[in-house]
Amino acid sequence: MGKIVFAGAMSHVLDPDYYDAACGPVGRRKVEDVMEAIRQMGARLAARSPDALIVVADDHLNAFSFNAVPALCVRIGTTVSRMVQEDAEAFDKVLEDMPLTYPLHEALANQILEQGLASGFDLALSWEAPLDHAFLSPVTTLFGPRPIPPLVPIWVNCFVAPQPTARRCFDFGRHIARVVAGSPWNVGIIATGGLSHFPELLVARVGESDTVFDRKILHWLEHGEHEPLCRLSADELHKSGEHEFLNWMVLIGAITPARADVRYFGELGRINLAAVEWRVE
């Protein structure tokens, strides 16, 4: 019987140069601190020798265009490429030093997809979508020089309204838990992004974050109180800059009712950086 052996969530722009430019030396220091917390989480993850790592993250209009914006999408196939962006700016630039291809856990991805469709989740699939910083910055920070296990990338539409609901993401996480339990594999799962930043997705509000909202969320996570999280509305998430918490909701559904330990939380104005790990063992 398979098992989720690790669950963690973390911010996903992990680039000291980016935060130094955006926020000054305090930005560099705080992102280095959260990266150190993530590296320590990665040591615990690697010690559990996962057969696969599910990565739940969002697209920043990199992998998908206005041709189609899937609510929930499972990447299938045997390998995945990182996004290549000529003359990259901002958070796209951090990808440039990373490997070009990564192995996928084809069998687990197929089971999540096929069993999902059979049980009422109208999931999208992709054979070709590349990965941006939302996936690869956390993965490369977690593993450092260690080998990266086969990945199962899953996208949640966090930014292009209308998004899936928090409860739907949670329910999809329950589905993932059932698939893993019925499989022969030990699986890690991470969710990336957040916490509060870019309220209302307005340039005018870049530089603001909602620390009160973040602390409320973290309190619920630490106490395993997941029903209030499922009730978060699209409007609440939009106004508080918690769009990417939808990724976290998938993970929470996969491990509920486990409690979380906050490994790092740092207010930075532009964003509140966070790293959280759940007690799944």
Chain positions contacting another protein, by CB under 8 A:
21-22, 60-61, 65-66, 85-92, 159-160, 198, 201-204, 206
Nearer to another protein, 4 or 94 (CB): 94
| CB of residue 263 to another protein, shortest distance in Å | 27
Nearer to another protein, 133 or 168 (CB): 133
Query: What is the DSSP-derived secondary structure letter of residue 241?
Result: T
| CB of residue 198 to another protein, shortest distance in Å | 6
| CB of residue 144 to another protein, shortest distance in Å | 26
Nearer to another protein, 173 or 241 (CB): 241
Long-range contacts of 110-113 (CB under 8 A, 24+ apart): 110/76, 111/179, 111/182, 111/183, 112/54, 112/74, 112/152, 112/154, 112/175, 112/176, 112/179, 113/74, 113/76
Nearer to another protein, 105 or 243 (CB): 243
The CA distance from 36 to 139, in Å, is: 13
CB 97 within 8 A of CB 141: no
Per DSSP bridges, beta strands 3-10 and 272-278 are antiparallel
Nearer to another protein, 65 or 128 (CB): 65
| CB of residue 62 to another protein, shortest distance in Å | 8
Q: In this structure, what token pair is assigned to residue 77?
A: 């196939």
| CB of residue 131 to another protein, shortest distance in Å | 15
Q: Give the rounded distance of the alpha carbon of 60 from its chain centre.
A: 13
Beta bridge partners of residue 266, listed in sequence order: 273
Q: Give the rounded distance of the alpha carbon of 43 from its chain centre.
A: 18
